[in-house]
């Protein structure tokens, strides 16, 4: 029987999900931007806001969807998984109550403390910004300042890294958030592990390293992520297998404590001198991380979805063993002052062996235009990170000159710096 699957979301992550599913099912997609990659792969594509639960359910019902996959956290936060589930469409994505793991950072830290999840930094939650500022004054170490709600990855300020204590206090007073988390600054190398979760079971995927800073050499403001890489095995070059296993244990503890969780559980970890600590959890695939993970996944992703829905054991995952390097092309000026509405050329024919994933582009009659967000990504696969990086770079010839790329992602130089950094911390 052919399954009919609805995909919610129109970014690069969702293009990668669409590519992983398109050959195995009847695929329909909805998003508020017209993603040309998803539109080409899907049997139907509807212009529906990801956060409009009623409209998403109406579209799912009209196409006869048996299954749904939600890409963005905004849809989870808006209760789209709840609405689809309640309408009889099994949704691989948590209900809003479990998605609070991502959508409410105060809940996330309290949940970790109360459930005894390993790797939780010291933290305090504040509803009063004056009290938060006093806490900064009284603290003898650096702190990370985190608004409790969703900020697209751009709301966190780390004292001693991006801001001084004074700047952090000005930020808190000016932004006037309802609630913030102040927590111990973690020092080390970041990595992501995503796991497929359903019915109390989970299947972890290889570790990925994203690059949040806008400019080469990890300079500049935080972004949604400029690109990412994986190695040929589950761990990354600056980690050992024990670090990977310790992080997987953290995800296992979350699944034990939240038996109703379903979908992708994304752990963002800081590998510190004392092992992996949790920077945050997300309730969905990472973007860009999905573009590394799904092309290397040999197990049909549809088999994961149907097993989850049917309460069958989740399949054991097989990966190709190829390293991957993903590089995003973003509008000039992104993220602070993005040049939206710039016409860009993407020559699909010159991508070669790499994969091309469209993200926030606007497809108009006369061509493709940038929005305020990341435009498209290329992913190289290879027998080593270096080979994958070279393939990704060749593909960037397709990018034209109205976009910006962090060419350093996945280069031997940057990977070596990560290894040296970890070695220095562990001495």
Residue 11 beta carbon to ligand AMP: minimum distance, rounded to whole angstroms: 17
Task: Decide whether 223 or 360 has the Cβ nearer to ligand AMP.
Answer: 223
Query: Using CB distances below 5 to 8 A depending on partner kind, what does residue 156 bind out of ligand AMP, ligand GLY, none?
Result: ligand AMP
For the chain, what is the HEC assignment?
A: CCCEEEEECCCHHHHHHHHHHHHHCEEEEEECCCCHHHHHHCCEEEECCCCCHHHHHHHHHHHCCCEEEECCHHHHHCCHHHHHHHCCCEEECCCHHHHHHHHCHHHHHHHHHHHCCCCCCCEEEECCHHHHHHHHHHCCCCEEEEECCCCCCCCCEEECCCECHHHHHHHHHHHCCCCEEEEECCCCEEEEEEEEEECCEEEECCCEEECCEEECCCEEEECCCCEEEECCCCCCCCCCHHHHHHHHHHHHHHHHHCCCCCEEEEEEEEEECCEEEEEEEECCCCCCHHHHHHHHECCCHHHHHHHHHHCCCCCCCCECCCEEEEEEEEECCCCCCCCCCCEECCCHHHCCCCEEEECCEEEECCEEEECCCCCEEEEEEECCHHHHHHHHHHHHHHHCCCEEECCCCCCHHHHHHHHHHHHHHHC
Q: Does 14 contact ligand GLY by CB under 6 A?
A: no
Residue 411 as a binder of ligand GLY (CB under 6 A): the answer is no
- Site mask for ligand AMP (CB under 6 A), range 199-218, x = bound: -------------x------
Query: Smallest distance, Å, CB 268 to ligand AMP?
Result: 5
* Contacted entry of ligand AMP, ligand GLY, none for residue 360, CB cut-off 5 to 8 Å set by kind: none
Give yes or no for residue 98 binding ligand GLY (CB under 6 A). Answer: no
Residue of the chain from 14, 183, 231, 389 that contacts ligand AMP (CB under 6 A): 183
Contact string 220-249 vs ligand GLY (x = CB under 6 A): -----x------------------------
Is residue 7 part of the contact set for ligand AMP (CB under 6 A)?
no
Closest to ligand AMP by CB, 13 vs 146, is: 146
The reply to whether 185 sits near ligand AMP by the rule CB under 6 A is yes
User: Does residue 144 belong to the site contacting ligand AMP (CB under 6 A)?
Assistant: yes
Applying CB under 6 A, does 103 fall inside the site for ligand GLY?
no
287 binds, among ligand AMP, ligand GLY, none (CB under 5 to 8 A by kind): ligand GLY
- Candidate ranges 70-78, 180-188, 313-321, 369-377; the one touching ligand AMP (CB under 6 A): 180-188
Of the residues 9, 153, 263, 335, which one makes contact with ligand GLY according to CB under 6 A: 153
Q: Where along the sequence are the contacts to ligand AMP (CB under 6 A)?
A: 121, 144, 146, 153, 156, 158, 183, 185-186, 190, 212, 222, 268, 279-280
Q: Where along the sequence are the contacts to ligand GLY (CB under 6 A)?
A: 153, 210, 225, 282, 286-289
């Amino acid at each position: 029987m052919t399954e009919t699957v609805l995909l919610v979301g129109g970014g690069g992550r969702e293009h990668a999900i669409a590519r992983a599913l398109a050959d195995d099912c009847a695929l329909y997609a909805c998003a508020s931007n017209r993603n040309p990659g998803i539109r080409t792969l899907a049997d139907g594509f509807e212009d529906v806001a990801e956060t409009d639960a009623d409209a998403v359910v109406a579209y799912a019902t009209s196409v006869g969807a048996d299954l749904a996959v939600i890409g963005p956290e905004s849809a989870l936060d808006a209760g789209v998984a709840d609405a689809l589930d309640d309408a009889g469409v099994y949704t691989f994505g948590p209900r809003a109550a479990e998605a609070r793991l991502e959508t409410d950072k105060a809940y996330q830290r309290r949940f970790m403390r109360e459930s005894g999840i390993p790797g939780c930094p010291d933290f305090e939650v504040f509803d009063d910004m004056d009290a938060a500022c006093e806490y900064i004054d009284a603290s003898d170490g650096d702190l990370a300042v985190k608004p409790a709600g969703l900020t697209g990855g751009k709301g966190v300020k780390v004292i001693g890294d991006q801001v001084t204590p004074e700047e952090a206090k000005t930020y808190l007073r000016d932004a006037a958030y309802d609630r913030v988390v102040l927590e111990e600054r973690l020092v080390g190398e970041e990595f992501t592990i995503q796991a497929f979760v359903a019915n109390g079971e989970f299947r972890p995927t290889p570790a990925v390293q994203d690059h949040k800073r806008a400019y080469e050499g990890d300079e500049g403001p935080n972004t949604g992520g400029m690109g990412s890489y994986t190695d040929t095995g589950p761990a990354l070059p600056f980690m050992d297998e024990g670090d990977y296993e310790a992080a997987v244990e953290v995800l296992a503890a979350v699944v034990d404590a939240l038996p109703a969780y379903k979908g992708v559980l994304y752990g963002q970890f800081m590998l510190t001198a004392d092992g992996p600590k949790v920077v945050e959890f997300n309730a969905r695939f990472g973007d860009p991380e999905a573009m590394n993970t799904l092309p290397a996944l040999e197990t049909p992703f549809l088999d994961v979805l149907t097993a989850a829905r049917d309460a069958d054991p989740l399949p054991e995952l097989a990966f190709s063993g190829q390293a991957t390097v993903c590089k995003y092309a973003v509008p000039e000026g992104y993220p602070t002052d993005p040049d939206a509405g710039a016409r860009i050329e993407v020559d699909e024919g010159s991508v070669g062996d790499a994969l091309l994933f469209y993200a926030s582009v606007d497809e108009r009659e006369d061509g493709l235009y940038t929005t305020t967000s990341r435009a498209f990504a290329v992913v190289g696969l290879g027998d080593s990170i270096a080979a994958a990086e070279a393939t990704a770079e060749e593909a960037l010839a397709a990018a034209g000159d109205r976009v910006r790329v962090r060419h350093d992602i996945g280069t031997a130089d940057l990977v070596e710096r990560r290894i040296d950094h970890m070695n220095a911390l562990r001495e």
